[in-house]
């Protein structure tokens, strides 16, 4: 495949507005997409500002996975609609999965936007913003299902590759934790999930491009790189499968202290990948492998393609290869027709697996999915809420046991920032403004937050200069959600 040269900073175009604010909702893939959008705009002379109030262009990079993710964006759009009445020249755009979905139910909210861009069209954003500035009215760039047609897929992927390759990696921009895309889209078609429709079919990046990107990020100061894909263990490019890719990134970038990857699909997780993890110390002993349910009947309805026993077999295999492994899962409660017995089976799965963390989601019907058309959303919301609570309290008890086992030990952590994060900046969900955590001004010691190799959160008191570096901390206290300790 031919790669265009990385984008060079160009003189600002005379018609484009300058100051841009990007707010990101949803998954890590969106965080990465926002970063690439930002880099694209910075290279063209735009300036990033930390609040929508200071911006000429406000972009929301959105998530469509659950109705609640969309509601947050809709309320932002309400605020922006009012602001546009006072400042008609303000440009407001929606990027990402909610834009791609652009369902009938969203048309009223979309009407007032200037630009609507799906996740597979983000490379076109600068040109679209120029069109808006030239007075074109609303512009939309959506893939629809066209990207599913193989005829257009290669071309679409080559264009998108330019977006990843255009990444700015100068040390000034550097953050210690970086994401690198490995796989785009998803072919799984889990019956509840909108991602295959919004992000299109699974395609895999060239391993040389991936290794090269990791190398450039590490040269610019990255301490931890997370490889991203919806079903990352399905990676295949020519002869190179996932285990081989993981080994290559690890072996060919020996200066990288920490390598991780997200998200694994429970089927086809090979012993070869576990072997690569077990024999390469800089790969973190961490696996995010969602089960979604502990009921075989529901797994079948969800089209997940494995049974509870097959899932547990993977967990046993992984733990025997990697005794220190931290396993993280996702579970859906209240999937259509879920009975008390199904729910009990899901709780039993949590007890069997003993996850480090579980993200629990209440089933949310998504337009266009098989579940939505086939299965009535018949579990009442109060039942979903009760099951959600029950599952979380069970998991909290399990997480607390994992955390207590670490009390008294010394752990290596990557220091992320001051412990009091933005209220919106929560792990795994919620919105994240695309402004990197600034180094706190005080240097006489502050409450810092950090993560272990198993992704446990550890708070401790230390010099703010430690942000972005690895430190050793003795763990003193444990709660279900985090640890605290002292710098060694
Ligand atoms: N493989 C992807 C999954 C993306 S969606 C990844 O990278 O994580 C993330 C999680 O959202 C899923 O694992 C699932 O637990 C949850 N989810 C997806 N669709 C949902 C829906 N319609 N209702 C509730 N939860 C959903
Ligand atoms: Fe969604 Fe299933 Fe893919 S959860 S992202 S369709 S693996």
Q: What is the pLDDT of residues 182-206, one digit of tens each?
A: 999 999 999 999 999 999 989 999 9
pLDDT of amino acid 165: 87
* Residue 197 near ligand 2, beta carbon < 6 Å: no
Q: Say which DSSP state 430 is in.
A: S
* Residue 263 near ligand 1, beta carbon < 6 Å: yes
* Residue 216 near ligand 2, beta carbon < 6 Å: no
For residue 371, which atom of ligand 1 is closest to its CA? 22
- Which residues, at least 6 apart from 283, have a Cβ–Cβ distance to it below 8 Å? 246, 250, 259, 260, 276, 277
pLDDT of amino acid 168: 84
State the ligand closest to the CA atom of 362. 1
- CATH architecture of the domain formed by 19-148: 3-Layer(aba) Sandwich (3.40)
What are the CA-CA distances from residue 104 to residues 110, 308, 375, 426 (Å)?
10, 37, 20, 31
The Å distance, Cα 146 to ligand 2 centre, comes to 19
Report the nearest-CA residue for atom 2 of ligand 2. 190
* Residue 231 near ligand 2, beta carbon < 6 Å: yes
Q: Say which DSSP state 265 is in.
A: -
- Which residues, at least 6 apart from 230, have a Cβ–Cβ distance to it below 8 Å? 29, 183, 185, 186, 188, 195, 199, 202, 263
* Residue 195 near ligand 1, beta carbon < 6 Å: yes
State the ligand closest to the CA atom of 187. 2
pLDDT of amino acid 434: 37
* Residue 234 near ligand 2, beta carbon < 6 Å: no
Structure tokens, 4: 């265009």
The Å distance, Cα 265 to ligand 1 centre, comes to 12
pLDDT of amino acid 436: 35
Helix (H) or strand (E) segment spanning residue 47: strand 47-48
pLDDT of amino acid 405: 97
What CATH number labels 160-404? 3.80.30.20
The Å distance, Cα 371 to ligand 2 centre, comes to 13
pLDDT of amino acid 15: 53
pLDDT of amino acid 444: 64
- Which residues, at least 6 apart from 49, have a Cβ–Cβ distance to it below 8 Å? 19, 20, 21, 55
Residue 227 and residue 261 in contact, taking contact as beta carbons nearer than 8 Å = yes
* Residue 263 near ligand 2, beta carbon < 6 Å: no
Do the bridges between strand 183-184 and strand 115-117 make them parallel or antiparallel, or are there none, so unpaired?
unpaired
pLDDT of amino acid 172: 62
- CATH architecture of the domain formed by 410-487: Beta Barrel (2.40)
CA dist., res. 269 & res. 322, Å (int): 14
Q: Which long-range contacts (CB under 8 A, 24 or more apart) does 379-384 make?
A: 379/334, 379/335, 379/336, 379/337, 379/338, 381/334, 383/334, 384/333, 384/334
Chain center to CA of 413:
21
The Å distance, Cα 95 to ligand 2 centre, comes to 20
Report the nearest-CA residue for atom 19 of ligand 1. 193
pLDDT of amino acid 157: 76
State the ligand closest to the CA atom of 26. 1
pLDDT in tens, the chain (488 residues): 344 444 444 444 555 458 999 999 999 999 999 999 999 999 999 999 999 999 999 999 999 999 999 999 999 999 999 999 999 999 999 999 999 998 788 888 888 899 999 999 999 999 999 999 998 889 998 887 544 544 566 777 777 888 898 888 876 666 899 999 999 999 999 999 999 999 998 999 999 999 999 999 999 999 999 999 999 999 999 999 999 999 999 999 999 999 999 999 999 899 999 999 999 999 999 999 999 999 999 999 999 999 999 999 999 999 999 999 999 999 999 999 999 999 999 999 999 999 999 999 999 999 999 999 999 999 999 999 999 999 999 999 999 999 999 999 999 999 999 876 443 333 333 333 333 333 444 446 899 999 999 999 999 999 999 999 999 999 999 999 999 999 99
* Residue 186 near ligand 2, beta carbon < 6 Å: yes
Strand ranges for 161-301 from DSSP E:
177-181, 183-184, 203-204, 224-228, 236-237, 240-241, 258-262, 286-288
Chain center to CA of 339:
31
Which candidate, 483, 328, 487, places its Cα nearest to that of 407? 483
CA dist., res. 216 & res. 214, Å (int): 5
Between the two ends of the chain, the Cα-to-Cα distance in Å is: 49
Q: Say which DSSP state 122 is in.
A: G
The Å distance, Cα 407 to ligand 1 centre, comes to 32
The Å distance, Cα 65 to ligand 1 centre, comes to 6
Strand ranges for 150-296 from DSSP E:
177-181, 183-184, 203-204, 224-228, 236-237, 240-241, 258-262, 286-288
pLDDT of amino acid 93: 97
CA dist., res. 194 & res. 186, Å (int): 10
CA dist., res. 73 & res. 97, Å (int): 12
Cα dihedral angle (386, 431, 104, 188), rounded to 10 degrees? -70
Q: Which long-range contacts (CB under 8 A, 24 or more apart) does 69-76 make?
A: 69/25, 69/26, 69/98, 70/98, 70/106, 72/25, 72/431, 73/25, 73/98, 74/109, 76/23
CA dist., res. 236 & res. 457, Å (int): 33
For residue 330, which atom of ligand 2 is closest to its CA? 4
Listed by start position, the domains of the chain span 19-148, 160-404, 410-487
Q: What angle do CA 451, 461, 281 make, to 5 degrees?
A: 30
pLDDT of amino acid 145: 53
């Amino acid at each position: 495949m031919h790669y265009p040269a990385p984008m060079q900073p160009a003189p600002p175009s005379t018609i484009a507005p300058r100051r841009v604010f990007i707010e990101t909702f949803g998954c890590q893939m969106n965080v990465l997409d926002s970063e690439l959008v930002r880099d694209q705009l910075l290279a063209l002379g735009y300036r990033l500002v930390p609040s929508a109030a200071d911006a000429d262009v406000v972009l929301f990079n959105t998530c469509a996975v659950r109705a609640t993710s969309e509601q947050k964006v809709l309320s932002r759009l309400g605020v922006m609609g009012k602001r546009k009445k006072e400042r008609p020249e303000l440009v407001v755009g929606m990027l990402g999965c909610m834009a791609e979905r652009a369902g009938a139910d969203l048309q009223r909210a979309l009407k007032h936007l200037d630009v609507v861009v799906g996740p597979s069209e983000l490379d076109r954003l600068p040109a679209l913003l120029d069109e808006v500035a030239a007075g074109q009215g609303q512009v939309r760039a959506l893939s629809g299902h066209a990207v599913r047609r193989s005829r257009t897929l290669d071309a679409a992927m080559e264009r998108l590759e330019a977006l990843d390759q255009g990444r700015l990696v100068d040390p000034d921009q550097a953050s210690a934790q970086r994401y690198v895309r490995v796989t785009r889209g998803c072919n799984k078609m889990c019956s509840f999930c909108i991602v295959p429709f919004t992000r299109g079919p699974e395609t895999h990046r060239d391993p040389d491009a991936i290794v090269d990107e990791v190398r450039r990020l590490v040269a610019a100061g990255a301490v931890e790189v997370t490889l991203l894909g919806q079903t990352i263990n399905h990676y295949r490019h020519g002869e190179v499968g996932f285990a081989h890719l993981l080994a290559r990134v690890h072996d060919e970038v020996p200066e990288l202290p920490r390598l991780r990857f997200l998200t694994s699909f429970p089927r086809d997780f090979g012993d070869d990948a576990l072997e690569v993890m077990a024999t390469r110390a800089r790969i973190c002993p961490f696996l995010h492998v969602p089960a979604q349910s502990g009921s075989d009947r529901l797994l079948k309805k969800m089209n997940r393609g494995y049974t509870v026993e097959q899932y547990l077999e993977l967990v046993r295999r992984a733990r025997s290869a990697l005794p220190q492994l931290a396993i993280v899962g996702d579970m859906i409660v209240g999937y259509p027709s879920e009975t008390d017995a199904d729910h009990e089976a899901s709780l039993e799965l949590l007890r069997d697996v003993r996850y480090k963390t579980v993200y629990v989601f209440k089933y949310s019907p998504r337009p266009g999915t098989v579940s939505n058309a086939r299965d009535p959303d018949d579990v009442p919301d109060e039942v979903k809420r009760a099951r959600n609570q029950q599952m979380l309290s069970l998991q909290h008890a399990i997480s607390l046991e994992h955390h207590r086992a670490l009390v008294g030990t010394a752990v290596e952590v990557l220091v992320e920032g001051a412990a009091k994060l933005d209220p919106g900046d929560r792990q795994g969900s919620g919105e994240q403004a695309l402004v990197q955590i600034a180094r706190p001004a005080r240097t006489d010691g502050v409450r810092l937050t950090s993560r272990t190799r198993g992704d446990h959160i550890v708070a401790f008191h230390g010099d703010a200069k430690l942000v972005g570096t690895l430190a050793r901390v003795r763990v003193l206290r444990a709660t279900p959600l985090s640890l605290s300790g002292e710098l060694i």
